[in-house]
Structure 1
Amino acid sequence: MVSVIGVLQTVVISMCLACYVGWQFADYFMLWQANIKSHFVFGQIDLYWSVVCLLPILLGHFVTIWGNYFRATAQFEHSIAKVTTPANKHQQISFWERHDGWFGFTVKFWCLAGLITVMNLYWFILTTVLSRDGYVASLNNSTQATVRAIAYGSSQAVLLDLSIILFLVLRRSMLHALGFTYPELIPLHRWLGVTMLGWATIHGAFYSAWLTMTGQFTSNIAFTDKTRGTRDMPGVFAWFGMVIMAFFALPQFRRAVYPIFLYIHRAGTFVFMIGLMMHYPSVMLWYYALPGFVLFLLDRFVPKIMQARSISPIATCSLNTDADIIRVKFSSHEPMKPYYPGDYITVQVPGLGNIYHPFTIASYWPEDPYSMTLYMRVFGDSKFSWTKDLAKLCGNDDKRISIRANVDGVFGDRRHDYLKSETMIIFVAGAAITTFMALIKAIAAQIAASPEPLRMQLHLICTFRTRSELHAYGSFLHQITRDPRFTTWLHVEIYVSRPDKPQTLMGAHAHVVKNDIMVPGQTKKKDKKKRFASFKRTGTMLKRALSGRTIVEIPPPSLAANASAIEAEARSTDVSNISLERSSSVKSAVDTLNNQERLDESGITVDSSSSDQARGSNDNELSSIPEKPKMNMTYNENPLPTFQAAGTATVSKNLAKFDLLTSAVLVAVPMAIYYAIRTVKWEGSPHYCPTTKSKSSFTIFVCQWTYALLPGFFHLFAFLLLGYGGIYMARKAHRRSQTGGSDVETAVPYPDFAAEDEKISVEDGNWDEGDVVYSRGRMDVRKVIQSFVDLGIGSKVSHKSDQGPGAKQHRGLVSVFAGGPEGYVDMIERQCKKAAWSVEFHRETWAP
């Protein structure tokens, strides 16, 4: 039944998009050459456009919203079930989801990019060729006619791209229902913006050349009502608006000062649209721009309204000053919209600006449908850093406080074909671990719910800059390395690359952190390189104030000589038998304090002498290693709940009704106003402006501007009024539901921190009785990858020496995720290619 409904939704959305694409190919003949009358007021042209173009787009969007609620759970459950389903001999990721080996894009991405390229060339060539004969007849000069036709054809290509570009930035898009993801479409949006600027530049250059050839350049590029200058100058301003947007959208600027980029992008869009309307005052421009605008505004307003009515405006916030990690938790009086692994929300904090910032949800919805948790890395390098300003509001010393915050979302379009893999390897750096927290818990829930054993081998390889940063995620890391629900199948390696900063070692937490963190010894030497050369170890307990609540256990230095033998034995075993101790505690035995002087600011390197020592060739016996003492755990051994067990169907049904109703109102009312304005006869005959024979050219333009600008302006005004009014009413309704009908702002209840601490203590386990084992030193990516290749995981070709019994065989499809800063992800990808590793590579980066 689920598959039938899914196929039906896909067919409907595909047909809607096919209608829209068909309209774009036939538009020139239907509207520009069919001589349809009633151009200035509502008539046949509006009927054709409404039925063939606008209606299919809206229908497809509503089907997409329906699918987001009713199909999301079924799709994810179908995908997650693959981890316990016996692998088919021919099982593999679908052809459309395959990544290319050069740029990392999927096959479906290149198909969509190819379709848009064909449409661009089609519009340019078609309009240039068909208009040239008319220009030859009117100008009696073939050269001038060709130049003028190219200028006209490039302008039509700008209109085509205008009609497409907003479809590529929707968070709830029909394209997502067909398998595309938001991060996958953003590069296409940028490329299309560059293409628009290119067509506009060609149009301006060839049109200026034609004016120069006819001796009209000086008179037409000017503010005068005697020529086309009154229309041409707004076109110049529109072009400058595009140039400014393109310049500030460069990666170097966009990533450095993202808020400024966003404000300039919005202002540039406004300047471009007003300039375009005044340069070419035709109501037909709305036929290209309006469908995208409607969906874009729906995409921005409806999720905000949905969350404003359910999520409390009061969130809890705490800052781990040692790790520079902010933990924010949102709560709701009713079950939240179900969110799935990889989903994200955008957050806006009043007082820190109006921009919403995206963050991946770290919590697992079935565990607690009434809350969601985010981890935010504080970036203090720029004075424009939003997280830096938020950290100032969140206090210090991990004391949780209440802040006001608004939420937009939930958004999610991740495809889960990678769960078909027989081996999945996840490389994460720092805060990127939040992207995979829910996924790992979902796999654990599937293992407990399924009678079949886990067939997938899952490896999580984490690297953190400091031990304090590791402890910021200690709740999760401790669970996956100590809770039997995870340790039986999840292989974890954790690296800490640098010592904690001096403020941590000698600051407010010094009485808590008793050194397994490196505490500087007494020295009077001024040499900075030797300042931390002397260290002491006295054992460690990190209390809840540091968010870690763990004891970090470092094997004594005497075990260093045994590390190579341990590693050799671990490599000789099958990958399914690799234990947690092999992947974590062994390496920590061979990483000594001498490595600390070699740790760079990035915390990651491709080569490391400490890793060389860890993987050396010492054959000492293993029996000398003392057995680790057993810890008394208080973890809840009950299986993690699945999405179905948590009742997502009922929650989705109730939310979908409100979502569809809200979307319908926001579409119907502004569109009714648009059509009403289109029926008004502002002056004279409905088919033309009578001023064309009796007034100046400037008056003619004013007449045309009236019909071109007013319908869209009133539509936009009505949409914004309804949208912001809906958000206000949703927040007001939420406050009343929380205060028993009172509308007092201060009556919103604040969280009970003591009760929440007790709940965390019971659910997460007894942290003072366990440890999170990690390796001190930089992760050697090349050698980590090579260790998998040596085990036959992802190897392309089997060597002759590998033939025979016990030989290492290729372990089916291998998926590799790299999450973290873009530079880290790029490094992982380069090493994968350099090692000739046969894997499906997925990027998870937060670069804007």
Structure 2
Amino acid sequence: MWGWNLADVYVTWILNRDWLFFMNNRDYFVAVFLLLPSAVGHLATIWGHYFRSEREFQHSIAKVTTSDSVKRKIPLWEHHIWFGYTVKYWILVSLVAIASIVWPIQATVPYRGEYGEYGVVGAMGLILGSASGSAMLGCCSLVLFFVLRRSMLHALGFTYAEILPLHRWLGVAIVVWAILHTIGYLMYYIWDGSLSEGFNFDTAIANVMGIFAFGFLLILAILSIPQVRRRFYTVFMSVHRIMTVLFIVCTIFHYPYYILWYYFLPSIILFLVDRFVPKVIQTRTLYPFVSCSLNDDADIIKMTLTSPEPMKPYYPGDYITVQVPEIGTFYHPFTVASYWAEDPKSITLFIRTYNENKRSWTAALGRLCGTEGRRVRIRANVDGVFGDRRHDYLKSEVVVIFAAGVAVTTFMGLIRAVAAHIASSSEPPRIRFHLICTFRTRSELHAYGSFLHQITRDPRFTSWLHVEVYVSRPDKAKTLMGAHAHVIKNDIQVPGQSVKPEKKKKRFQSLRRAGTKIKRALSGRATAGSPTFPDEKAKPMNQSEKEAPISPCVVTFSEGDNHTRGDSADTVALEGEIMKNPTSGKTETTTVDSSNSSGSADLKTKPSTREMTYDSKRLPTFHDAQSTAVATRFAKLDLTASAILFVVPLALWYGLRAVIWEGSVHYCDVMTEMTRIQEKICYGTYAFAPPVGHFILFTAIGYFAMWFSRRTLLRSLKACNPKDIESGKHLENKNLPYPYFDIEDEDLSVEDGNWDEGDVVYSTGRMDVKVVVDRFMDEGVGAVGGDIALVTVFGGGPEGFVDHVERQVKKSKWAVEFHRETWAP
């Protein structure tokens, strides 16, 4: 857009080429200097999207085992300066600001000699109206460019999260320019005395359409206010799209000039390609039905999407958007929790349902999936996978992750990828990870399958990964005493740092009583902090033992192999007590070092049996799964689909332009005198046809491509259509991954938390971020004045939690590089 503006100004006003004012010649000019560079640049970005992610990820993760004693400095390009934004972001803002200055100059300076006849007020009004109108159109030409999930700016190191604020600020600029545009022309019409004539349906339909465009823009602005947008996000997204289309259409009728489609068409093409092509690829790749199950104790949905062949490689932090037709047309974004190399044919999502708001999208999904932890099949459409994350943080010596609830899924793939690389490397790990996560209840902790259990037990993780788990509140009453009582496990429960001693006993006393009774009734296991006996009936616990307070210590992992499990359940002995495993009869000695300077205790237990160390399950890498070959295949498919959607509508438009409709210049002769009606028909048709016609044709081709891709997939599986799956005709087809549609006869609660080999160590009470930060600083990690490139901190979870973590980091002057991982809309 900037290059075309410079070329247009040079050819039009400096060289004074009259041939440029013939419509066909300007078409060719625009095609060479605007449309073709945009298309080629985007296609190159798509090709690089597949291989740049692989190359950068492999380059970054190699640093995990690469020794480097030189201190790592953050490049100037990536430094955060004003208002927390990086240098590269402000450079981009400066370029947009320069363009915003050029657009008004281009619209007013060439006509500066014509304003003298309008007087001071009239001239000022015309200058203000023309300049602001041109600037508004320029901002409109870029506003869609900054919401592309696969943008040319990603090759320069920008991420979607970094670009999105510029989209919002451009929206603010459009509103400001529109207000100034309105004020300017009101000044002119008042000076001219033609205000009533300038705004009526008989003689000034263009101005009336401008009023409608301004009204739609104000609706856009009101719904985009952060507080309104976050409170009514689904409404915002639906209305935002409708109002955007109406605003563009009314703007074209308001200013029916051919130059409009030069502003709008490139961004419209790139936006449609960005929205349709990933959907086409996923409809060709993924099965039309997904598996979902609701853990109603934890309010967590587990959704699994499957494919008959390896799908496009995705990397830690990537996300997809999911649409469930039974709920609505809205595509909801979710971070991928699975690790591609482990199973290239599936994607796993963990979705937190917000039952506090019965009208929410996730609550509706929970009702659709909710059958007491059993799998059901639902129809779903997927858009993605998307990801522009840079993994430069792996250059750090220490990575600290604060995760609240379901945000832990954001880092599951990363932790697995690091573990796989370390396991396959002959070099020792150079980096240290600290995962500090907090959950509302034990049920939520257990909702994430065996992930937390493995990373706290498997030596391939515990050698470099240190985990702290906090549970902030008791389980629901129905969980403690109802059908899901098996979730109440033999966890090692210790009080958290932020809970005062006088409140601990009162807060968790009823929980311990109920949990002890249920555990003894179901499995005979022991509670941490109380003695156990091989025969509970022979020697029952007395009242003082039942209600004995738990020792005031916090379990941390200062050394990778300090904590191991017994044959069946973990047990803890405080201050050197001897404890006995109730199921195996073996005696183990566990000691707690209460003198730990950080206020925590280290558990030291004798090594356990080999069969419990996960060594039999290999940790695959991306190279093992042949990610490059898979990416190449999808890149070719992506480029083919993108090229078709680029070429066909444009070919149709230029074909129509080649037909002689009215004389040798086609459509209309702008170099000759025309009546006012002829001029409006000429310019209006030329301004309206390319962007609107392209949008309609592009959308039709896109939806046809999605339908054809789905049919192709089902045909390859020898299934007639999705209705065959619903009717049960697919049961004879062994190619489909789900022979039973209604409900699979499998209790996922066993898979997602009920482990016979032991459970997760956690601390009771809320996580005190300040205490954790001070502890790291006391140990010399990120001390004041240190190199911030050596320590990376992630805050993941709801925006309020992430804000709290960021405030504590800044307040403590912790020398770290901070990253936000929040799902605030």
TM-score range with shorter-chain normalisation? Answer: 0.7 to 0.9
Q: 2:798 aligns with which of 804, 814, 821?
A: 821
Q: Which residue number in structure 2 is paired with residue 405 of structure 1?
A: 380
Q: Which residue number in structure 2 is paired with residue 672 of structure 1?
A: 651
Q: 1:58 aligns with which of 15, 18, 39?
A: 39
**What whole-Å deviation, never above 9, does each CA across 1:400-424 have from its counterpart, x for those lacking one?**
1111111111111001111111111
The AA in structure 2 aligned to 1:118 is I
Distance 1:817 1:191, change over 3 A: same
2:52 is the counterpart of 1:71: yes
Q: Which residue number in structure 2 is paired with residue 104 of structure 1?
A: 84
- In structure 2, what is the Cα distance between the partners aligned to 1:550 and 1:267? 60
2:329 is the counterpart of 1:354: yes
Contact map agreement 1:496 1:778 (CA 8 A) in 2: yes
2:813 is the counterpart of 1:836: yes
Q: 1:654 aligns with which of 619, 622, 633?
A: 633
Shift of 1:720: 1.0
Q: 2:233 aligns with which of 251, 258, 261?
A: 258
Shift of 1:628: 7.3
- In structure 1, what is the Cα distance between the partners aligned to 2:596 and 2:72? 39
Counterpart of 2:80 in 1: which secondary structure?
coil
2:359 is the counterpart of 1:384: yes
Shift of 1:167: 0.9
Distance 1:765 1:277, change over 3 A: closer
Aligned counterparts, 1:215-226, within 5 A: 215-225=193-203
Q: Which residue number in structure 1 is paired with residue 763 of structure 2?
A: 775
Q: Which residue number in structure 2 is paired with residue 180 of structure 1?
A: 158
2:103 is the counterpart of 1:123: yes
Q: 2:464 aligns with which of 489, 495, 513?
A: 489
Shift of 1:95: 2.4
Q: Which residue number in structure 2 is paired with residue 162 of structure 1?
A: 140
Q: Which residue number in structure 2 is paired with residue 784 of structure 1?
A: 772
Farther-moved stretch of structure 1 (458-467 vs 696-705): 696-705
Shift of 1:463: 0.5
Distance 1:550 1:781, change over 3 A: farther
Contact map agreement 1:317 1:401 (CA 8 A) in 2: yes
Q: Which residue number in structure 2 is paired with residue 429 of structure 1?
A: 404
- In structure 1, what is the Cα distance between the partners aligned to 2:490 and 2:425? 44
Aligned counterparts, 1:500-511, within 5 A: 500-510=475-485
Identical residues among aligned pairs (%): 48
- In structure 1, what is the Cα distance between the partners aligned to 2:57 and 2:338? 16
Contact map agreement 1:282 1:705 (CA 8 A) in 2: yes
**What whole-Å deviation, never above 9, does each CA across 1:577-601 have from its counterpart, x for those lacking one?**
79569xxx999999xxxxxxxxxxx
2:296 is the counterpart of 1:317: no
- In structure 2, what is the Cα distance between the partners aligned to 1:621 and 1:385? 40
Contact map agreement 2:662 2:668 (CA 8 A) in 1: yes
Aligned counterparts, 1:72-471, within 5 A: 72-100=53-81, 103-136=83-116, 138-139=117-118, 141-225=119-203, 229-471=204-446
Shift of 1:70: 2.5
- In structure 2, what is the Cα distance between the partners aligned to 1:640 and 1:423? 22
- In structure 1, what is the Cα distance between the partners aligned to 2:274 and 2:75? 29
Contact map agreement 2:313 2:340 (CA 8 A) in 1: yes
**What whole-Å deviation, never above 9, does each CA across 1:254-298 have from its counterpart, x for those lacking one?**
222222111111111111111111111012111111111111101
The AA in structure 2 aligned to 1:707 is Y
2:703 is the counterpart of 1:724: yes
Contact map agreement 1:245 1:265 (CA 8 A) in 2: yes
**What whole-Å deviation, never above 9, does each CA across 1:744-800 have from its counterpart, x for those lacking one?**
7325535369999799999x99921121000010101111000011111111248xx
- In structure 2, what is the Cα distance between the partners aligned to 1:149 and 1:622? 73
Shift of 1:516: 7.1
Distance 1:629 1:635, change over 3 A: closer
2:783 is the counterpart of 1:795: yes
- In structure 1, what is the Cα distance between the partners aligned to 2:788 and 2:385? 36
- In structure 1, what is the Cα distance between the partners aligned to 2:371 and 2:332? 22
**What whole-Å deviation, never above 9, does each CA across 1:517-567 have from its counterpart, x for those lacking one?**
99xxxxxxxxxx999864515548899x9xxx9989633487855738x98
Distance 1:49 1:650, change over 3 A: same
- In structure 1, what is the Cα distance between the partners aligned to 2:656 and 2:167? 32
Shift of 1:705: 1.7
- What's the TM-score, normalizing by structure 2? 0.85
- In structure 1, what is the Cα distance between the partners aligned to 2:617 and 2:33? 55
Q: 1:707 aligns with which of 663, 677, 686?
A: 686
- Aligned Cα RMSD in Å? 3.8
- What's the TM-score, normalizing by structure 1? 0.82
**What whole-Å deviation, never above 9, does each CA across 1:115-161 have from its counterpart, x for those lacking one?**
1122112322453444333222x43x244223311210111101111
Distance 1:142 1:493, change over 3 A: same
Q: 1:48 aligns with which of 29, 42, 49?
A: 29
Shift of 1:475: 1.6
Q: How many correspondences in the alignment? A: 764
Shift of 1:436: 0.5
Contact map agreement 1:338 1:365 (CA 8 A) in 2: yes
**What whole-Å deviation, never above 9, does each CA across 1:591-615 have from its counterpart, x for those lacking one?**
xxxxxxxxxxxxxxxxxxxxxxx99
- In structure 2, what is the Cα distance between the partners aligned to 1:550 and 1:148? 86
The AA in structure 2 aligned to 1:783 is V
- In structure 1, what is the Cα distance between the partners aligned to 2:449 and 2:574? 21
Q: Which residue number in structure 1 is paired with residue 715 of structure 2?
A: 736
Q: Which residue number in structure 1 is paired with residue 529 of structure 2?
A: 555
- In structure 2, what is the Cα distance between the partners aligned to 1:217 and 1:704? 24
Shift of 1:355: 1.3
Distance 1:290 1:551, change over 3 A: farther
- In structure 2, what is the Cα distance between the partners aligned to 1:339 and 1:480? 21
